[in-house]
Structure 1
Amino acid sequence: MSSEKEHTSLLSLRSVGSLTALVVLGASLLWVSFNMELPSPEALRETILGYGWAGWLVFLGITTAIAITPIPVTVPALVAGSLYGLIEGTILSFSGVMLGSWIGYWLARALGQRIVFRLLGRHSTIVQNYLSDAGFWAMCTVRLMPALPYWPINYGAGALGVKQYAFVSATFVASMPGQISLVALGAFASNPSIFHGTVLVIAWIAVLISTWISYKYWRSTAPDRKETESTKE
């Protein structure tokens, strides 16, 4: 009897802990989404410059933190291009996005599916359809979907147990064209050279082509997903 009571008490403690984690994380992300406003690219640029030689660390920290939340990573990428140029800006912006995505992935693994999918809300269905037993190509597909932000993919992949190698490699490959295009746009705005303009055009072509490829993959796998869902029912 005592062992059963101890087991029941442990389950109760886990339930309370899970609920507390859900409330805290959900409230934090909602507060950040609706109350925190990113400064303009010019204001963010001035803030980073104010830290002198340590500005790149501040920028990396800001980009990483933004990648964990539902806030788009567009503004930091533009600032990276205008402040650090195409090559260094791409390295810093991309590193922040990768690090923030990885942190979100492991945070979701720690919280578990039940909590994460409550948190994802309207994104939960599409994430679950694509990332259940997902590999490299499925991860690339969801990364390249225009209407799906970074954060639900990070959290969904972690909650569903997508292998870390598939998650990291697909995030690296699928995010690169978009990051380069945004950084190149920022660099071109501050220094409108032929080089920056050429890279910008090539990067956007790469984004369009990769999005088209992911769409074709999505279309080709749609019947399989429907069949799987009907079998489960």
Structure 2
Amino acid sequence: MKSKIIIKSIIFFIILGTIFYCFNKFNLYEHIKEIFSSPENFKGFVIRQGALAPIVFFLIQIGQVIISPIPGNLTALAGGALFGGISASLLSSSGIILGSLIAFYLARTFGKPLAVKFVGQSIFNKYSKVFSGKSCLSLFILFLLPFFPDDALCFLAGLSNINFRLFLILTIFGRLPNIVFASLIGSGMISFSLITWIIIGVLSAILLFLMFRYKSKIENWLYNRLGFE
């Protein structure tokens, strides 16, 4: 058991080290404010990487979860314009999910001091109460809704009673819809009229009401029926 933990830790830090090495290689740290100052600058930077553009974009999607310079949905939107809806969906989804798992693992391994350092004290104080008691449905709802700090929530989830398997499920089903949706919109593959947006908004509001209304029952079912701790 101990040897497995050591092996996993070695693999994890090799992956993390590779990511940070690539960030340094492509000078992302030096130009990060300029790169993310506008969608045009971001797209221009990625395009200038030539054949390596998909790899650089993938690494950015991993890194932005951890260092959070810009919301992942916005980079996914730009990715759709750069690579097309399908390719951008795959690159953004895999990058953001991997980044989310890394953030969760870092907080779970190194605890509150590291989590606070990454997310900031104000964000920690504001959202840590979300993870009191059974919190899987609350996290899922926040993942689904726009304009919440999804990346910071990954660190906070690492400090909660949510186990890795459940967090992976919540991340896939909570974060993927927004990522894919943004990629497809950015590519121009889908577009909605005002009426359609209104209908989507109303249906979303009804769904959220039902989820909050029966929150305890749904969470009890997830924890007891599916065997989560």
TM-score (norm 2): 0.65
Q: Percent identity?
A: 22
Give the SS at the match of 1:153. Answer: helix
* 8 Å Cα contact 1:104-1:155 kept in structure 2: yes
Larger-Rg structure: 1
Describe the superposition over 1:185-207 as per-residue Cα deviations: whole angstroms up to 9, x where unpaired.
Answer: 2111xxxxxx5326xx9899768
2:176 partner letter: M
* 8 Å Cα contact 1:67-1:101 kept in structure 2: yes
| Matched residue count | 184
1:43 corresponds to which of 37, 41, 44:
41
* 8 Å Cα contact 2:143-2:150 kept in structure 1: yes
* 8 Å Cα contact 2:144-2:177 kept in structure 1: no
Describe the superposition over 1:27-85 as per-residue Cα deviations: whole angstroms up to 9, x where unpaired.
Answer: xxxx99x9676142223223222222221110001111111123312331122111111
* 8 Å Cα contact 2:107-2:156 kept in structure 1: yes
TM-score (norm 1): 0.64
Consecutive unaligned residues in structure 2, runs of 5 or more: 1-28, 217-229
| Counterpart Cα distance in 1 of 2:96 and 2:175 | 9
Q: CA RMSD in A?
A: 3.4
Q: 2:78 corresponds to which residue? A: 79
Consecutive unaligned residues in structure 1, runs of 5 or more: 1-30, 189-194, 223-233
**What does 1:56-205 align with in structure 2 at a 5 Å threshold?**
56-71=54-69, 72-113=71-112, 116-117=115-116, 120-134=120-134, 136-188=136-188, 195-197=189-191
Q: 1:17 corresponds to which residue? A: none
Larger % of helix: which?
A: 1
1:53 corresponds to which of 45, 51, 54:
51
Moved more, 124-133 or 59-68: 124-133
